[in-house]
Structure 1
Amino acid sequence: MQQRYAMPHPTAHERPFRPLPQQGSQKPMPFGCTVVAIVLLTLGITTPGAAQYIVPDAAMKDSIKKEVTKAMDYMEFGQGEDAMRVWRRIIDMDPGNPAFRYEFGVSAVLARRYDTARTVVEPIYRDSIFRDQGYQLMGMIYLYLQDTLKARETFEAGLAKYPKSGRLHYELGSYHTVAGRLEQGMDFWIQGTRVEPTFPTNYFWVAKMHANGPNKIWTLIFGEVFLNLERNTEKTKEMSELVFRTWNAGMRLGDTIDPINFAHDSLLEKPGPTGASTMPFEMAFEYTAATSAQPFIPDNGVLPRLTMQQLVDLRYRMIAQWRRSGYDTLYTNSLIDWNIELQKSGWFKEYLRWLYSWGDKKEMNDWFLKNERRYDTFLAWFTTNGMKFDKPLCLGLGCP
């Protein structure tokens, strides 16, 4: 149960998988990171959106700063008991600061002391400085205590107060999914991508939940969007591998019966955007993939797996073919629009290498050694020229 909710901490990438700053987005953070911004403001560091807090004297200010740093270091490495001990000292220094009590509650969760966490967090989680994260933490504590009804009520109360909370949509989606209500859970995750486009976790789970089903197209689309938003965590590696693997799982080049299979037949039979005379988006996607894959079909048998180079070339051909066919004006899809921008910029192939870099690390490293300068130039460009998340995206599965 605890692992399902764990947010991975950023890790340094080995070459060539170099870390990229989060451009134009907020990456998911461990519980309390927003509150830490409030704490840092009390120590003289200005953070947008943080509440005002008056420190009684400079000596106390310095001592709190040192202790907060120590506590957060313990939390970073999952040492909940040690963090709790430090937060107790901090609370003794300033018992009236709810942010410190909140962090103590987070540390208690890390230490699996859920009753202690409940005692500390229940009186304060509704405080406006914690916003939706307060409700998220309290609901999670109830889940750990096996009080699923109270957890659901807490998440729903939080969502009623913060209807544009991506994290509370995620929690309710997880709640229903674990309970076996898969469609209801998926609806919450999809809605979460719309109300808070910069919260990555909902994209992640929409992608992951479709990977082993008949509609792998949504793994490809939502997974790629997730990678653009959360560029540098353990989840990034997992999703990079997953989308690379899913592209291969949906193609059997050389199979004369069913060479491309990214969507269930029921999706392919829907009317297109202008009625029965046009293909639905999913069919247009499969058709374009099939025509773009022609150069990679073996003379005999079935191609067991596309290499990264072949997949990069196929994707490049797909976007070019999509534009030639006029599909870019017929179908609305924010990710494909972004791919078209990348192709026009001249960086699309490097972007695709970055996207699938964890799908085949050896091939990526071999390519990188021959293309280091250009790839580094791309990374520098990509840092400030990423996909836009300033409004809800249209990706399929209904558009906002």
Structure 2
Amino acid sequence: MRKLFSLLSIAGALCVQNTAAQSDTDQQSANNRLQAAVTLMDNGQVDSSLILLEEGRKLFPDNIDFPYEMAYAKYLTKDYNAAADLLKKLQKHKDVSDRVYQLLGNCYDYLGKPKKAIDSYDDGLERFPGSGPLHLERGIMEMKAKQYGRALAYFEAGINGEPTFTSNYYWAAKIFCSQSEEEVWGMIYGEIFINLERGSKRTEEISKLLYYTYKSEIQFPNDTSVSVSFHKDNTINIGWDPKSGPEDLAKQLMSALNRSFPGVYEQSLMLSVVGEKIINLQTLDSIRTRFLDIYAQQGKELTVPVPIFDYQRQLRSLGYLDAYNYWALGLGSQQEFEDWRIANQDKWDKFIAWFREHGLQVTNENKFTRPR
């Protein structure tokens, strides 16, 4: 079921502010009527929903939820002009939120007015600079123009502003892994995404993307060499002094690599791959397990928080890391995943029981975004 835009959907606290002059009984009546209308809308009964919403708007004229949901109903029926008219009036409402600007921009976009859509999103961002949804919409507009660098800037700003809003991770992962030579960022964004948005079609898509990116970026040219490429280049500044010898050059090289997250990531992954000859779920489980220790050592001076690595360490301490790795990447090699699951059914069941109750926690304190 679609979540209510409200003030209801955020926690209910603002609903009380909306109707300070109403009695608790009246407020409950408004909430019940709104929920009934949204349920009808979700079930495809938009006309019946509109009747309830109109009645609610008359009974509770200060409640922004009723006209917003009316606009959403009009949007669903593709009456974008009517929806936009309702939304424009809400821009000055005391309880306006970023969703009003988002839906208004979407209406303009469907009406073939991309400039007005962008203006709506930008107006919203001026008022709600940390909005995940508005950064998402601006990023999508840039993607439509094939301006992928600009799109990424918006998606990553959205991640930074609202780190639990999943769609910005989704698009950032897709662009980095499919449209760039800087897959390292897509690997992190993608794995955070599948943990925050479990069980969706998009989760399945990104699970496959992560697996196939490992397959394409870790290569074995021959029996004695390996190539790891998750970042197109790491800018390294090294001064060569003939008096210092090659040992000093090597030290500078290692020091330069250790100063950037991509450098540490690639270096740690390269060391983790040593000894493997192919990439599949089994070897990726081994590689990812070794990676945690190597990255912890190589990246000990980095200040970039990577919540997904901390989460993997927690899983390893509980004995669930292998099950998690098969879950995270399994859709890339479904038969191999099924064979492992059947052979490890008890471990899998225990992992899933724990996993349901202990998801990845991303906060403003531990959020991950690409350093600028």
Q: Between 55-64 and 172-181, report the one with greater CA deviation.
A: 55-64
Which digits, 9 at most, give the CA deviation of each residue in 1:17-45, with x for residues without a partner?
xxxxxxxxxxxxx5x6232727xx9xxxx
Query: What is the match of residue 368 of structure 1?
Result: 341
* Change in 2 beyond 3 A, CA 1:358/1:161: same
Query: What is the match of residue 50 of structure 2?
Result: 87
Query: What is the match of residue 124 of structure 1?
Result: 90
* Change in 2 beyond 3 A, CA 1:55/1:128: closer
Q: Which has the higher contact order (CA 8 A, sep 6+)?
A: 1
| TM score, norm. by length of structure 1 | 0.76
Query: Which residue identity lines up with residue 91 of structure 1 in the other structure?
Result: E
Residue in structure 2 matching 1:377, options 342, 350, 353: 350
Query: What is the match of residue 15 of structure 2?
Result: 50
Query: What is the match of residue 75 of structure 2?
Result: 109
Query: What is the match of residue 203 of structure 2?
Result: 236
Deviation at 1:172, TM superposition (A): 1.6
Q: Is the 8 A contact 2:7 2:13 kept in 1?
A: no
Query: How big is the alpha-carbon RMSD for the aligned residues of Structure 1 and Structure 2?
Result: 3.2
State the distance in 2 between where 1:275 and 1:195 align: 36
Which digits, 9 at most, give the CA deviation of each residue in 1:128-173, with x for residues without a partner?
4341111111111111112222222221121111112111111222
Q: Is the 8 A contact 1:332 1:394 kept in 2?
A: no
Query: What is the match of residue 322 of structure 1?
Result: 295
Deviation at 1:64, TM superposition (A): 8.1
SS at match of 1:191: helix
SS at match of 2:371: coil
State the distance in 1 between where 2:91 and 2:204 align: 33
Residue in structure 2 matching 1:262, options 230, 234, 250: 230
State the distance in 1 between where 2:40 and 2:216 align: 41
Query: Which residue identity lines up with residue 386 of structure 1 in the other structure?
Result: G
Query: What is the match of residue 246 of structure 1?
Result: 213
Query: What is the match of residue 342 of structure 1?
Result: 315
SS at match of 2:15: coil
| TM score, norm. by length of structure 2 | 0.81
Query: What is the match of residue 274 of structure 2?
Result: 294
State the distance in 2 between where 1:382 and 1:146 align: 44
* Change in 2 beyond 3 A, CA 1:93/1:337: closer
State the distance in 2 between where 1:188 and 1:349 align: 34
Which digits, 9 at most, give the CA deviation of each residue in 1:51-79, with x for residues without a partner?
444779979977984x65554345436x3
Deviation at 1:223, TM superposition (A): 0.3
SS at match of 1:122: helix
2:183 pairs with 1:216: yes
Residue in structure 2 matching 1:332, options 285, 301, 304: 304
Compare the two structures and name the one with the higher helix fraction. 2
Query: Which residue identity lines up with residue 34 of structure 1 in the other structure?
Result: F
User: Which structure 2 residues correspond to residues 158-177 of structure 1 after superposition, within 5 A?
Assistant: 158-177=124-143
Deviation at 1:90, TM superposition (A): 3.3
State the distance in 1 between where 2:158 and 2:177 align: 19
* Change in 2 beyond 3 A, CA 1:92/1:219: same
State the distance in 2 between where 1:338 and 1:318 align: 14
* Change in 2 beyond 3 A, CA 1:139/1:223: same
Query: Which residue identity lines up with residue 89 of structure 2 in the other structure?
Result: P
* Change in 2 beyond 3 A, CA 1:56/1:83: farther
Query: What is the match of residue 15 of structure 1?
Result: none
* Change in 2 beyond 3 A, CA 1:397/1:215: same
Query: What is the match of residue 3 of structure 1?
Result: none
State the distance in 2 between where 1:55 and 1:68 align: 16
SS at match of 1:376: helix
* Change in 2 beyond 3 A, CA 1:372/1:133: same
The number of residue pairs the alignment matches comes to 349
Query: What is the match of residue 387 of structure 1?
Result: 360
Q: Is the 8 A contact 2:236 2:256 kept in 1?
A: no
State the distance in 2 between where 1:394 and 1:275 align: 30
Stretches of structure 2 lacking an aligned partner (at least 5 in a row): 239-250
Q: Is the 8 A contact 1:64 1:90 kept in 2?
A: no
SS at match of 1:246: helix
Using the aligned pairs only, state the percent identity: 23
Query: Which residue identity lines up with residue 5 of structure 2 in the other structure?
Result: T
State the distance in 2 between where 1:112 and 1:253 align: 52
Deviation at 1:94, TM superposition (A): 4.1
* Change in 2 beyond 3 A, CA 1:275/1:204: farther
* Change in 2 beyond 3 A, CA 1:232/1:328: farther
Query: What is the match of residue 152 of structure 2?
Result: 186
